[in-house]
Amino acid sequence: MPAPAEVVDPLRQVLTRVTVAVGILLATVFLVWLDRDGYNDNSDGSVDLLDAFYYTTVTLSTTGYGDIAPVSDSARLINVLLITPMRVLFLIILIGTTLETLTTRSREQVRLNRWRKKLRDHTVVIGYGVKGRSAVATMLANAVAEESIVVVDPDPSAIAEANEAGLVAVMGDATRTEVLRRAGVPTADRIIITTARDDAAVLATLTCRQLNQDASIIVAVREADNVALVRQGGANEVVTSSDAVGRILGLATVSPALGHVLEDLTTSGTGLEVAARLVTPREEGKQPKQLTDLVVAVVRDGVELPFHSPAIGHLVRGDRLIVIRPSEEYPWARREDIHAAAAAQDEREDEPEDPADRPPGGI
Binning pLDDT at 50, 70 and 90, where does residue 195 land? very high
pLDDT in tens, 84-107: 888 888 878 777 766 666 665 566
Is domain 120-245 annotated with CATH 3.40.50.300?
no
Read off the pTM. 0.55
Residue 102: per-residue pLDDT: 61
pLDDT at 216 over 90: yes
Average pLDDT taken over every residue of the chain: 79
SS3 sequence, 174-193?
CCCHHHHHHCCHHHCCEEEE
Q: Cβ neighbours of residue 299 under 8 Å, at least 6 residues apart?
A: 276, 305, 319, 320, 321, 322
Is the Cβ–Cβ distance between 221 and 230 less than 8 Å? Answer: yes
**Distance separating alpha carbons of residues 361 and 363, to the nearest angstrom:** 7
* Helix ranges restricted to H, 298-334: none
Work out the average pLDDT over 65-73: 83
Q: Of all residues in the chain, what percent carry a pLDDT higher than 90?
A: 22
pLDDT in tens, 198-214: 999 999 999 999 999 99
Q: CATH number of the domain at 269-357, out of 3.20.20.80, 1.10.150.120, 3.30.70.1450, 3.90.110.10?
A: 3.30.70.1450
Residue 110: per-residue pLDDT: 63
Is the Cβ–Cβ distance between 167 and 4 less than 8 Å? Answer: no
pLDDT in tens, 104-150: 556 656 656 666 666 778 999 999 998 899 889 888 877 788 888 99
Q: Where are the domains of the chain?
A: 10-117, 120-245, 269-357
Work out the average pLDDT over 160-188: 89
Of residues 328 and 207, more confidence is placed in 207
pLDDT at 261 over 90: no
- CATH annotation of 10-117: 1.10.287.70
Q: Cβ neighbours of residue 33 under 8 Å, at least 6 residues apart?
A: 49, 52
Residue 361: per-residue pLDDT: 34
Is the Cβ–Cβ distance between 308 and 318 less than 8 Å? Answer: no
Q: Strand, helix or coil at 276?
A: strand
Q: Cβ neighbours of residue 13 under 8 Å, at least 6 residues apart?
A: 97
**Distance separating alpha carbons of residues 156 and 197, to the nearest angstrom:** 18
Rg of the chain in Å (alpha carbons): 34
Q: Do domains 10-117 and 120-245 have the same CATH topology?
A: no
Residue 81 CB: number of other CB atoms within 10 A?
9
pLDDT at 236 over 90: yes
